[in-house]
Amino acid sequence: MAEITTIARPYAQAVFELAKAENDFAGWSDSVRLLAMIATDPEAAEWLASPRVGADQKAALLIDVGGDRLTPAAVNLVKVLAHNQRLPALAEIAQLYEALRNDAEGVVEAELISAQPASEEQQTRVTAALKARLGREVRLSCRTDAALLGGAVIRAGDLVIDGSARGKLGRLAGALTH
């Protein structure tokens, strides 16, 4: 895991610098997200990992599937990654790029995990509370996890707020055993 991050970081930084110079953060987000999605498709990933397939063929696959949604600069990125045998790092490059973009734009990605689906009002309240606490714009994504039993867990960057019944029971058990 750390190795793939180490490999991906300079590419993500280069894409970020290019996006900043072009003033096109959203366009590059779309491009790297699309390339990561293609590269992580099970069939494509198997083909891209094959030692019998040349770098030019691997690049051509991604470029063909991406089609006209890829800018010339994104096509060049694919070629560079293919020739440096870094295509498996595309998903990590996309994640690191998004983190750099969010930091530059003053945005934090947050996740609300709840036992039951969160209502629009609950999502709005969580978003407002996180914005006040973190001093940044918040992009909230939601998902459900019945294993939480009740309540919710909020993750925003390094911040984790565990208000789930499962988390409370775990803390209670820990307190009783000490």
Q: How far apart are the first and last CA of the chain?
A: 34
Tokens of 139: 């992009």
| Phi and psi based region of residue 149 (left: phi greater than 0; alpha: psi -120 to 50; beta: remaining) | left
Q: Calculate the alpha carbon distances from 88 to 36, 39, 62, 93 in Å.
A: 9, 7, 12, 9
Please check whether residue 96 is in contact with residue 5, taking contact to mean a CB–CB distance below 8 angstroms: yes
> Would you call 97 exposed, middle or buried from its count of C-beta atoms within 10 A (0-12, 13-18, 19+)?
buried
Whole-prediction pTM: 0.76
DSSP 51: T
pLDDT of the residue at 55: 94
Q: How far, in Å, CA of 49 to CA of 58, rounded?
A: 9
Q: Where are the alpha helices (DSSP H) in the chain?
A: 2-22, 25-40, 42-49, 55-66, 72-83, 90-105, 120-134, 165-177
Paired with 139 in beta bridges are: 109
Binned at pLDDT 50, 70 and 90, residue 100 comes out as very high
> Which carries the bigger pLDDT value, residue 136 or residue 149?
136
pLDDT at 112 over 60: yes
Residue 153's H or E segment, with its range, is: strand 152-156
pLDDT at 25 over 80: yes
Angle of the 72-83 helix axis to the 2-22 helix axis, nearest 10: 150
Binned at pLDDT 50, 70 and 90, residue 2 comes out as low
All domains of the chain in start order, with CATH: 2-102 (1.10.520.20), 106-177 (3.40.30)
DSSP 115: S
Q: Quick: pLDDT tens for 75-88.
A: 999 999 999 999 99
Look-up: residue for tokens 């891209």? 48
pLDDT at 1 over 60: no
